[in-house]
Amino acid sequence: MTAIIMDGKQEALNVRKFLAEEIAATYSSPVLAVVQVGDNPASQVYVRNKHKAAAEIGMECRICYVPETASEDELRDLILELNDNDEVNGIIVQLPLPKQFDELKVLSWIKHSKDVDGFSPINAGLLQMNSPEAVVAATPQGIVALLKHYVADLRGKHAVIIGRSNIVGRPLADLLLNQDCTVTVTHSKTLDLPSICKQADILVAACGCAEMVKADWVKKGAAVIDVGINRVDGHLCGDVAFEEVKEVAAYITPVPGGIGPMTVAMLLKNTWNAYKKQNPLMK
Ligand code: NDP
């Protein structure tokens, strides 16, 4: 029996429809500020997509372009100005930054209540401590929302994550631990990765290695989440060999149409939640 496809596109549409209805019922639009430093072509596409997705639900998205030649002080001044601007509810800095900038330092300048990517050290710490005040990074949040929709009870499940980045692997490990999963985080130095993956009830591939996860790495009946976005000969694929793995797994996300749309939807949701917290008296 082939796996049930976890339809991130549909689930994301449901979230966006809900947000559009909520926003339509308020007296003003939430504002998301996107800081883009330099002109990395991939970043330009991501920023355009965020702008379009925000506009579709009635959210304003202000793109603040900073030239690659800008100094650290100039970038910090812009972020501090956005922190103080009461019209702005959420701020994200599009990553990766040009090499001369220290990402962790830049992210730490964003006020934690406006950090709708959840990448600042304060939000990462709050998530690790299982605080309800944490703004949770969009991709891990989207993964858990999709898992809850399809697999329902995550308690006690063994989740294996391939990748330990600050934006996917690490926050996802915290989030799944907070959902009472037993979590194993793997990385490029992990020994015998296939046999560890084979123990997973939930297997999340977030390593950026095209179709690395094969059918014989996957336990029968597992839920397999593919976060990877890779381009091979102009063709988009994930970190999981979808065609063969879907014959073993019980649930699987496609690429595209899985975690990508969920990530955008969760960013919009975080911005809406930030707006509500900053405007407690609104209806
Ligand atoms: P990073 O490059 O920051 O991290 C990759 C992680 O994978 C590292 O921890 C690395 O290990 C590990 N890794 C790399 N190669 C291997 C290997 N052969 N075996 C085991 N582990 C390995 O990537 P990101 O976390 O930012 O992104 C991962 C993937 O997810 C990318 O394809 C990216 O495009 C995609 N992505 C998709 C999103 C979406 O919305 N769908 C959002 C964000 C990312 P080590 O730490 O040892 O170097």
Tens-digit pLDDT profile for residues 110-124: 999 999 999 999 999
- Give the per-residue pLDDT at 146: 98
- Give the per-residue pLDDT at 49: 95
- Over 80: is that where the pLDDT of 279 sits? yes
- Over 90: is that where the pLDDT of 152 sits? no
- Report whether residue 171 contacts ligand 1, using a CB cutoff of 6 Å: no
- Give the per-residue pLDDT at 264: 97
- Give the per-residue pLDDT at 97: 97
- Over 90: is that where the pLDDT of 26 sits? yes
Q: Work out the mean pLDDT of the chain and round it to a whole number.
A: 97
Which atom belonging to ligand 1 lies closest to the Cα atom of 187?
Answer: 21
* C-alpha of residue 163 to centroid of ligand 1, in Å: 5
94 is catalytic: yes
* C-alpha of residue 108 to centroid of ligand 1, in Å: 22
Residue 156, amino acid: G
What mean pLDDT is predicted for residues 74-101? Answer: 97
- Over 60: is that where the pLDDT of 150 sits? yes
Q: Which of 165, 213, 259 to mutate to test the pocket of ligand 1 (most atoms within 8 A of CB)?
A: 165
The catalytically annotated residue of 7, 36, 94, 269 is 94
The catalytically annotated residue of 7, 117, 201, 239 is 117
Which atom belonging to ligand 1 lies closest to the Cα atom of 238?
Answer: 32
The catalytically annotated residue of 7, 36, 50, 201 is 50
In the block, tokens 């014989």 appear at: 216
- Report whether residue 229 contacts ligand 1, using a CB cutoff of 6 Å: yes
Which atom belonging to ligand 1 lies closest to the Cα atom of 208?
Answer: 32
190-230, pLDDT tens digit by residue? Answer: 999 999 999 999 999 999 999 999 999 999 999 999 999 99
- Give the per-residue pLDDT at 27: 87
What mean pLDDT is predicted for residues 82-107? Answer: 97
Maximum pairwise Cα distance, the chain: 57
- Is the overall model pTM greater than 0.95, yes or no? yes
* C-alpha of residue 187 to centroid of ligand 1, in Å: 9
| Rounded Cα distance, 196 and 203, in Å | 10
| Rounded Cα distance, 156 and 177, in Å | 9
258-267, pLDDT tens digit by residue? Answer: 999 999 999 9
Of the candidates 232, 231, 234, 237, the residue with the CA atom closest to the CA atom of residue 258: 237
- Give the per-residue pLDDT at 143: 98
Of the candidates 24, 91, 29, the residue with the CA atom closest to the CA atom of residue 64: 91
* C-alpha of residue 207 to centroid of ligand 1, in Å: 3
226 is catalytic: no
> Side by side, which strands form the sheet with 251-252?
4-5, 251-252, 223-226, 202-205, 158-162, 182-186
- Give the per-residue pLDDT at 283: 55
117 is catalytic: yes
* C-alpha of residue 18 to centroid of ligand 1, in Å: 31
Percent of the chain exceeding pLDDT 90 equals 97
- Over 80: is that where the pLDDT of 282 sits? no
Q: Which of 188, 239, 270 to mutate to test the pocket of ligand 1 (most atoms within 8 A of CB)?
A: 188
What mean pLDDT is predicted for residues 159-174? Answer: 98
